[in-house]
Homo-oligomer: A and B are copies of this chain.
Amino acid sequence: MAKELKELTPREENYSQWYNDLVVKADLAESSAVRGCMVIKPYGYAIWEKIQRKLDDMFKETGHVNAYFPLFIPKSFLSKEADHVEGFAKECAVVTHYRLKTNPDGTGVVVDPDARLEEELIVRPTSETIIWNTYKGWIQSYRDLPILCNQWANVVRWEMRTRLFLRTAEFLWQEGHTAHATEAEAMEEARRMLDVYATFAEEFMAVPVVKGVKSANERFAGAVETFCIEAMMQDGKALQAGTSHFLGQNFAKAFDVQFVNKDNKLEYVWATSWGVSTRLMGALIMAHSDNNGLVLPPKVAPIQVVIVPIYKNAEQLDAISGKVAPIVDELKRLGISVKYDNADNKKPGWKFSEYELKGVPVRLAMGGRDLENGTVEVMRRDTLEKETRPMEGIVEYVQTLLDEIQQNIFRKAVAFRDSVTRDVPDYETFKSEIEKGGFLRCYWDGSPEDEDRIKEETKATIRCILLREAETEGKCMLTGRSTKRLVLFARSY
């Protein structure tokens, strides 16, 4: 019974259902009573906390500070930047009233028509407008610059089709908003944060990413240039894992934020914004997991090592617990999170599949024979390999193994990504290759309209223009014109 409850739809059978099963059964998240909004369950939130803590440290190391800006944005603010309103004003939660009252018929509550707001408030879909309206009061001179703020917050975008973590009406994220005295400094900041995101994704989440620039079609509404990191999921679809925008002077102009520069002249401020969200959880799950459940890189795992005793009676459990106690202490001393699961209302087999489902990187099991032999069984989640090791030196072995697992998960993801990345010379080949998924790398000199047509015909989009151009020219896969520009196409989440 318990075993069956944990079974996932196999990936090969229905990838999308496998994903949903996994998110729910591994206790990561679930849908809520509010359409499109999710509940992030404690185990899922513990992973998000690890992501947050590490990113926050990286932001602070690069000179940023946290602040908090209002949840609500006056409707008129959204219209101040012409492109921005097109991108964000459409699907959003609108607050129109500030009071309920008891229903005259005595049943429940109704909106009080007398409590209508003069100007409607939008629940922030992103905060450029309210933040630049605030920065206006903070910036007079070049001495007030740069401003390097980040905010951890919830945002709402009224998505019609939602999927847990990947696309939800409300999601959690961080949004950095920086203000600079020069264009070069702002551009450098946008690139720096792209690098921070890439390093974080690869070294912490073990998710390899391609760094690039968005084409005009996919650019953030209000940005001059959008940099992004793109990851490849196991079903061959790409996932945008983070973006960093060079906003030029667009928002400074929209909110009239000028400063006196060193030459004593008034100038508009230069801006960036950059963000990653709980979507990263989706990337983490889909990049590594298998039909047994989650596969977590040790650095993001809330529990890195679980120890399960296998015993016939209370005395044997006591003997095992006695052997395990110093291992637990030593692992903790090394900063490794460890759980000794001696709960007696569940069988070892149930526990094994539970911790596999939850992606705990290393499992140690100890039974009667291990007691006699001074051994312990070690299982690594990434390969599911088991081996029996001597108790002696087990802590050092586990520590090394965790590093090896972190690296192996990354290597595996890189190998997969590389195996599904192909060069495509022309549109005919493109159309057949795109059916197999993966990244298609092409020379590209087409127009935004060409991109739209390809999207319509193949459901694929330019995920990014590669930061480094080709050394020699090649022919655009669609137009045949010569260009050095290389792009990656893919179908995407």
A66: nearest chain-B partner, CB-CB: B45
- Supposing A42-B149, A91-B99, A143-B345 touch, asked if A70 and B111 sit within 8 A by C-beta, the answer is no
Known: A93-B95, A100-B92. A71 touches B156 (CB 8 A): yes
Other-chain contact of A67, B39, B77, B98 (Cβ < 8 Å): B39
Contact A99–B45 (Cβ < 8 Å) = no
Interface contact A34-B121, CB-CB below 8 Å: yes
Asked whether A376 is an interface residue with its Cβ less than 8 Å from the other chain, the reply is no
Which residues, 31 to 62 on A, are CB-close (under 8 Å) to B?
A: 32-34, 37-42, 45-46, 48-49
Q: How far is the CA of A107 from the CA of B75 in the complex (A)?
A: 12
A207 interface residue per 8 A CB criterion? no
Instruction: Report yes or no: A40 in contact with B65, Cβ–Cβ below 8 A.
Output: no
Copies in the complex: 2
Residue of B nearest to A78 (CB): B109
Q: Of all chain B residues, which has the CB nearest A152?
A: B152
Query: CB distance B67 to A154 under 8 Å?
Result: no
The answer to whether A70 and B109 touch across the interface, beta carbons within 8 angstroms, is no
CB distance from A105 to the nearest CB of B (A): 12
Q: Which of B65, B92, B96, B109 contacts A42 (CB 8 A)?
A: B65
- Chain B residue at minimum C-beta to C-beta distance from A172: B68
A72 on interface, CB distance cutoff 8 Å: yes
Q: Does A422 contact B (CB under 8 A)?
A: no
Q: Shortest CB–CB separation between residue A141 and chain B, in angstroms?
A: 11
Q: How large is the interface on A (under 10, 10 to 19, 20 to 34, 35 or more residues)?
A: 35 or more
Contact with B along A79-95 (1 / 0, CB 8 A): 10000010001111111
> Which chain B residues lie closer than 8 Å to A345 at the CB level?
143
- Closest chain-B Cβ to A254's Cβ sits at a distance in Å of 13
Contact A158 B100 (CB under 8 A): no
Residues of B within 8 A of A71 (CB): 37, 123, 154, 156, 170
User: Is the C-beta of A74 less than 8 angstroms from some C-beta in chain B?
Assistant: yes
Q: Is A120 an interface residue (CB 8 A)?
A: yes
Alpha-carbon distance between A91 and B109 when the two chains are bound, in angstroms: 12
B79 touching A32, Cβ below 8 Å:
no
Known: A32-B130, A41-B67. A158 touches B99 (CB 8 A): yes
Chain B residues whose C-beta falls within 8 Å of the C-beta of A34 in the assembled complex: 70, 72-74, 121, 130
CB distance from A58 to the nearest CB of B (A): 16
In the complex, whether A332 has a CB less than 8 A from a CB of chain B is: no
Contacts of A335 in B (CB 8 A): none
Contact, CB under 8 Å: A111 / B120: yes
Question: CA–CA, A421 to B74, complex, Å?
Answer: 45
Cβ-defined contact, B95 with A95, below 8 A: yes
How far is A73 from B32 in the complex, measured between Cα atoms in Å?
A: 10
**Would B109 and A89 count as touching, CB distance under 8 A?**
yes
Contacts of A111 in B (CB 8 A): 75, 94, 96, 120
Sample of 10 further A-B pairs with CB below 8 A, known A40-B67, A49-B66: A33-B77, A34-B74, A41-B67, A71-B170, A85-B109, A90-B99, A93-B95, A94-B97, A99-B158, A100-B122
22 A–B contacts, CB within 8 A, in A order: A34-B74, A39-B69, A42-B149, A45-B65, A45-B68, A46-B65, A70-B170, A71-B123, A71-B154, A72-B93, A78-B100, A78-B109, A79-B107, A90-B101, A91-B98, A92-B98, A92-B100, A93-B97, A94-B96, A94-B97, A95-B123, A99-B158
